[in-house]
A and B are shown apart, each in its own frame.
Chain A
Amino acid sequence: MSLTIESISHPSHHLINLSGEVDTKTATSLMDALAELELAALLELRIDMADVAFLSSAGLRALLFAKQKMPYESRLVVIGANTAIVEVITKTGLTEAVTLVADVSLLS
């Protein structure tokens, strides 16, 4: 299965809409999309995963890669991830780097 990536810039944050599966093959395109951003100056990155069915270990690393490039006080928000993805992010301790929200309306 493929991955569709939509990257939208907002004044207060940057939004990436993902649709499909993030595995070894597709994580590369996500990494490429992330590399195009000026992560070092980005204070908030939102990744909408409501339409992502599967996130592999390589996908997790893409998220961590982005957070590591962002400023210390920044936040990386994952929106609408399914239960399986939330479980993986939680159990591997990635919640230290990632803020999980069920819905965009929950963001201040």
Chain B
Amino acid sequence: MDRIDSLPTDNICGLRVRPGKPLPFGVSHVPGGLNFSVYTSAGERCTLVLFHQGAPEPFAELPFPSHYRIGDVFCMVVFGLDFEDLEYGFRIDGPYHPEKGDRFDPTQILMDPHARLIAGRDVWGQDPNWQRPYPYRARVSLDDFDWQGERPLEIPMQDLVIYETHVRAYTQSPTAETAHPGTYAGLVEKIPYLKQLGINAIELMPVFEFDEFENSRLHPDTGERLYNFWGYSTVGFFAPKAGYAATGKSGMQVDEFKQLVKSFHKAGIEVILDVVFNHTAEGNERGPTLSFKGLDNKTYYMLTPEGYYFNFSGTGNTLNCNNPIVRSLVLDCLRYWASEYHIDGFRFDLATILGRDPWGAPLSNPPLLESLAFDPILSSCKLIAEAWDAGGLYQVGTFPAFGRWAEWNGLYRDSVRRYLKGDAGMVGQIAQRVLGSPDLYRMSGRAPATSVNFITCHDGFTLADLVSYNDKHNEANGEWNRDGGDDNHSWNCGAEGWTEDLGIQQLRRRQMMNAFAVLLTSRGTPMLLMGDEFGRSQHGNNNAYCIDSPLTWVDWTLLKSNADLQAMVQALIAFRHQHPALRVNRFDGPPSSLLPCSSFHGPTAWQPDWSGESRQLAWMLSCDHQTPAGDPAVDIVYVATNMAHFASWFALPAAPEGYGWQLCFNTGDNQQPILRDQPRIDSGLLVGERSVVILQATPLPTPMG
């Protein structure tokens, strides 16, 4: 039966219309037409602007009659539109008093903040027509997909091994040998590799629509074009980046991205999105007006009393996240990605901004963070905070977590880097880090998996560069090496950059293996950076946010040339999955039937050397568990690290009765770092200089007869 509100009541500009519904915001399909809904608190008049796809001029401009406004929402149903050929925007008229925060300008066509499909940057790097009015155009998505019963995986956080990736950088190089380089479809082609590596979560650097041409410029010396390559500057919060889709030209990025999620889930790999809610692509008072500025500037942005933009993000503006309107936009957005795209989790860029009040002061109980933590649709999504911002707020360990939020643990990164290069006074720090940082998280009742442990991420050196460069080399960014951090805690092992010295090459290789060995035997949630497992380099660039070239693209030939490193990482990940003792998610974990849940050792068993000069530490982790067959078992792992420049004898703690030690990994063994035959070790072993050994205790074979 037809609904009685499915017929037009009015005619505007030759189009049949009727008053719409305020929810949902944005555009939605209704019988025979499309419902448009947009919010503005201080805008006085609103006009719906309609374009045929790609047309320079609109074919219709429909002013909203006054009775089409409910509260602060303009809403209208327009009948008879061809939604596939449609691009739409809004003009809002109202006061223009920047000093009071109002910047209404009816000459601007504004993008729908809820747009689920955005045209304008359909093919990556294709020069846009700069003269075209309304550069990023909202389109209409169908929001349907055949999931075939697939659903989010809900892998417990402590069991995850996260792999941070950039969609384009991962497969753009011809060495990736994919049919669809640099796209979602290209990434799907790499799933078999990732599955074999053993990771079970992929974290994608921003995929919300952004403009790679934002702040694009030519390198002052080389003339090379520099881009917004990483994408930490959102144009549309509800739309996947079209330029990352092989089908972006046909406007099918929604289907292609959903297919990506479905394919990853089929392979048992979760998809986590890096989301940027701290600022938008509209910049400060000199930046363009794309959407929020013209819709409701003072609602969406944090403004100084004079009407200027607060800049806690370091990028010009700061989204006013704890305003109820913005809060609901963020919540709507994440609910949409979780329900419509089956996304498993979110990592929030500069997340402390989400806990600031409209004037920038940190809130003790931020409503947005609380809403996200307790939202029913997001209840099984991972929420991961980058717990610092450019305004100087650093909340690692104190981020308002509401029992739900995990954090990128910056202290883990710094401590492990310093320990690996042999800094004095680090063993106490390392003891905290490998147990999931109880010094940071225990008092507030959080668990080890709260700590996302990482040594490298997109921001900073790659692992190969961490062991090859003492200093950053960011000349390619065109800022005379002034950009990027200087606190890298890196060590070049004896020569800056590329070297023919075999001893240095060998040490670097061992240091990379040491890093992975520590990372993958630490409690908490480990995260790897794409390509680090086979020694990806950016030639010392620690801030390659603007480089779209082989410098940032993953070079897949390294997979062959560094096959031993990759095999080591793969084996370490498999070892982590096999050993529940490494994944215990309680700081007060009960002892196993045979041993404490965790204990520390030095060259002498049960006697760690906590002195400032000590560079040796071993940890033994144990828990009770059940074998896949359901039998009770005890898991025991022992990791000995020696970051001194000399070898040390480590006496092993006595294995429990009936158990014996088996050597599984030895980074000090250049020929055979993975010991596939897992030889039995009795009382102790020599741990080479700057080396890590990993052992497991397993039941001794019962004597026959």
Whether the Cβ atoms of A56 and B82 lie closer than 8 Å is no
Closest to B86 in A: A24
Question: Closest approach, in angstroms, between the C-beta of A37 and any C-beta of chain B?
Answer: 20
Rounded to whole angstroms, the CA-CA distance of A96 and B250 in the bound complex is 20
B142 at the interface (CB under 8 A from A): yes
Whether the Cβ atoms of A57 and B259 lie closer than 8 Å is no
Rounded to whole angstroms, the CA-CA distance of A54 and B294 in the bound complex is 37
Whether the Cβ atoms of A92 and B252 lie closer than 8 Å is yes
Question: Closest approach, in angstroms, between the C-beta of B207 and any C-beta of chain A?
Answer: 16
Closest to A95 in B: B259
Rounded to whole angstroms, the CA-CA distance of A25 and B245 in the bound complex is 25
Q: Kindly identify which residue among A24, A87, A90, A97 contacts B146, using a CB–CB cutoff of 8 Å.
A: A97
Closest to A23 in B: B84
Rounded to whole angstroms, the CA-CA distance of A38 and B85 in the bound complex is 32
Question: Closest approach, in angstroms, between the C-beta of B125 and any C-beta of chain A?
Answer: 19
Question: Closest approach, in angstroms, between the C-beta of A48 and any C-beta of chain B?
Answer: 21
* Complex interface residues of chain A between 48 and 80 (CB less than 8 A to chain B): 56-58, 60-61, 64, 68
> Is the interface on chain A under 10, 10 to 19, 20 to 34, or 35 or more residues?
10 to 19
Whether the Cβ atoms of B255 and A93 lie closer than 8 Å is yes
Q: Kindly identify which residue among A23, A58, A64, A91 contacts B259, using a CB–CB cutoff of 8 Å.
A: A91
Whether the Cβ atoms of A57 and B251 lie closer than 8 Å is yes
Question: Closest approach, in angstroms, between the C-beta of B141 and any C-beta of chain A?
Answer: 9
Kindly list chain A residues whose C-beta atoms are within 8 Å of the C-beta of B252: 57, 60, 88, 91-92
Question: Closest approach, in angstroms, between the C-beta of B549 and any C-beta of chain A?
Answer: 25
Kindly list chain B residues whose C-beta atoms are within 8 Å of the C-beta of A56: 84, 250
Rounded to whole angstroms, the CA-CA distance of A87 and B84 in the bound complex is 19
Question: Closest approach, in angstroms, between the C-beta of A100 and any C-beta of chain B?
Answer: 15
B246 at the interface (CB under 8 A from A): yes
Q: Kindly identify which residue among A25, A60, A90 contacts B82, using a CB–CB cutoff of 8 Å.
A: A25
Given A58-B84, A61-B144: A93 and B262 interface contact (C-beta under 8 Å) = yes
> Is the interface on chain B under 10, 10 to 19, 20 to 34, or 35 or more residues?
20 to 34
Closest to A67 in B: B146
Q: Kindly identify which residue among A64, A91, A96 contacts B247, using a CB–CB cutoff of 8 Å.
A: A91
Rounded to whole angstroms, the CA-CA distance of A64 and B148 in the bound complex is 12
Rounded to whole angstroms, the CA-CA distance of A60 and B84 in the bound complex is 12
B190 at the interface (CB under 8 A from A): no
Closest to B179 in A: A90
The winner among B82, B83, B146, B184 for most chain A CB atoms within 10 A is B146
Rounded to whole angstroms, the CA-CA distance of A50 and B183 in the bound complex is 28
Given A93-B255, A93-B259: A88 and B82 interface contact (C-beta under 8 Å) = no
Whether the Cβ atoms of A24 and B85 lie closer than 8 Å is yes
Whether the Cβ atoms of A24 and B82 lie closer than 8 Å is yes
Question: Closest approach, in angstroms, between the C-beta of B478 and any C-beta of chain A?
Answer: 34
B225 at the interface (CB under 8 A from A): no
Kindly list chain B residues whose C-beta atoms are within 8 Å of the C-beta of A93: 255-256, 258-259, 262-263
Whether the Cβ atoms of B146 and A64 lie closer than 8 Å is yes
The winner among B183, B247, B250 for most chain A CB atoms within 10 A is B250
B623 at the interface (CB under 8 A from A): no
Rounded to whole angstroms, the CA-CA distance of A25 and B81 in the bound complex is 10
Question: Closest approach, in angstroms, between the C-beta of B43 and any C-beta of chain A?
Answer: 31
Kindly list chain B residues whose C-beta atoms are within 8 Å of the C-beta of A90: 185
B180 at the interface (CB under 8 A from A): yes
Given A57-B251, A61-B144, A68-B146: A91 and B84 interface contact (C-beta under 8 Å) = no
Kindly list chain B residues whose C-beta atoms are within 8 Å of the C-beta of A96: 148
Rounded to whole angstroms, the CA-CA distance of A57 and B82 in the bound complex is 12
Whether the Cβ atoms of A57 and B148 lie closer than 8 Å is no
Whether the Cβ atoms of A24 and B83 lie closer than 8 Å is yes
Question: Closest approach, in angstroms, between the C-beta of B535 and any C-beta of chain A?
Answer: 31
Interface code B67-93, partner A: CB below 8 Å = 1, 0 otherwise? 000000000000000111100000000
The winner among A56, A58, A92 for most chain B CB atoms within 10 A is A92
Rounded to whole angstroms, the CA-CA distance of A68 and B245 in the bound complex is 26
Closest to B183 in A: A91
Whether the Cβ atoms of A91 and B256 lie closer than 8 Å is yes
Question: Closest approach, in angstroms, between the C-beta of A60 and any C-beta of chain B?
Answer: 7
Rounded to whole angstroms, the CA-CA distance of A90 and B184 in the bound complex is 12
Whether the Cβ atoms of A88 and B247 lie closer than 8 Å is yes
Interface code B234-272, partner A: CB below 8 Å = 1, 0 otherwise? 000000000001110011100110110011000000000
Kindly list chain A residues whose C-beta atoms are within 8 Å of the C-beta of B146: 64, 68, 97
The winner among B83, B148, B259, B263 for most chain A CB atoms within 10 A is B259
Closest to A57 in B: B252
* Complex interface residues of chain A between 17 and 50 (CB less than 8 A to chain B): 23-25
Q: Kindly identify which residue among B142, B245, B258, B262 contacts A57, using a CB–CB cutoff of 8 Å.
A: B142
Kindly list chain B residues whose C-beta atoms are within 8 Å of the C-beta of A97: 146
Closest to B260 in A: A93
Kindly list chain A residues whose C-beta atoms are within 8 Å of the C-beta of B183: 91
Kindly list chain B residues whose C-beta atoms are within 8 Å of the C-beta of A60: 252, 255
Question: Closest approach, in angstroms, between the C-beta of B574 and any C-beta of chain A?
Answer: 29
Rounded to whole angstroms, the CA-CA distance of A3 and B262 in the bound complex is 32
Interface code B127-155, partner A: CB below 8 Å = 1, 0 otherwise? 00000000000000010101010000000
Kindly list chain A residues whose C-beta atoms are within 8 Å of the C-beta of B144: 61
Closest to B246 in A: A91
Whether the Cβ atoms of A91 and B83 lie closer than 8 Å is no
Given A23-B84, A87-B246: A92 and B256 interface contact (C-beta under 8 Å) = yes
* Complex interface residues of chain B between 557 and 571 (CB less than 8 A to chain A): none
Question: Closest approach, in angstroms, between the C-beta of A70 and any C-beta of chain B?
Answer: 13
Kindly list chain A residues whose C-beta atoms are within 8 Å of the C-beta of B247: 87-88, 91-92
Whether the Cβ atoms of A88 and B250 lie closer than 8 Å is yes
Given A87-B246, A96-B148: A57 and B84 interface contact (C-beta under 8 Å) = yes
Rounded to whole angstroms, the CA-CA distance of A46 and B488 in the bound complex is 61
Whether the Cβ atoms of B255 and A92 lie closer than 8 Å is yes
Kindly list chain B residues whose C-beta atoms are within 8 Å of the C-beta of A68: 146
Kindly list chain A residues whose C-beta atoms are within 8 Å of the C-beta of B246: 87, 91
Kindly list chain A residues whose C-beta atoms are within 8 Å of the C-beta of B263: 93
Rounded to whole angstroms, the CA-CA distance of A90 and B245 in the bound complex is 12
Question: Closest approach, in angstroms, between the C-beta of A54 and any C-beta of chain B?
Answer: 9
Question: Closest approach, in angstroms, between the C-beta of A69 and any C-beta of chain B?
Answer: 12
Question: Closest approach, in angstroms, between the C-beta of A31 and any C-beta of chain B?
Answer: 14
Kindly list chain A residues whose C-beta atoms are within 8 Å of the C-beta of B180: 91
Question: Closest approach, in angstroms, between the C-beta of A29 and any C-beta of chain B?
Answer: 14
Kindly list chain B residues whose C-beta atoms are within 8 Å of the C-beta of A24: 82-85
Kindly list chain B residues whose C-beta atoms are within 8 Å of the C-beta of A61: 142, 144
Closest to A56 in B: B84
Question: Closest approach, in angstroms, between the C-beta of A90 and any C-beta of chain B?
Answer: 8
Rounded to whole angstroms, the CA-CA distance of A97 and B146 in the bound complex is 10
Whether the Cβ atoms of B259 and A92 lie closer than 8 Å is yes
A-B residue pairs, 5 tightest by C-beta: A93-B259, A92-B255, A24-B84, A91-B185, A91-B246
8 other A-B residue contacts (CB within 8 Å) besides A60-B255, A91-B184, A97-B146: A23-B85, A57-B84, A58-B84, A88-B247, A91-B185, A91-B246, A91-B256, A93-B259
Q: List 24 A-B contacts (CB under 8 A).
A: A24-B82, A24-B83, A24-B85, A56-B250, A57-B142, A57-B255, A58-B84, A60-B255, A61-B142, A64-B146, A87-B246, A88-B247, A88-B250, A91-B180, A91-B185, A91-B247, A91-B256, A92-B252, A92-B255, A92-B259, A93-B255, A93-B259, A93-B262, A97-B146
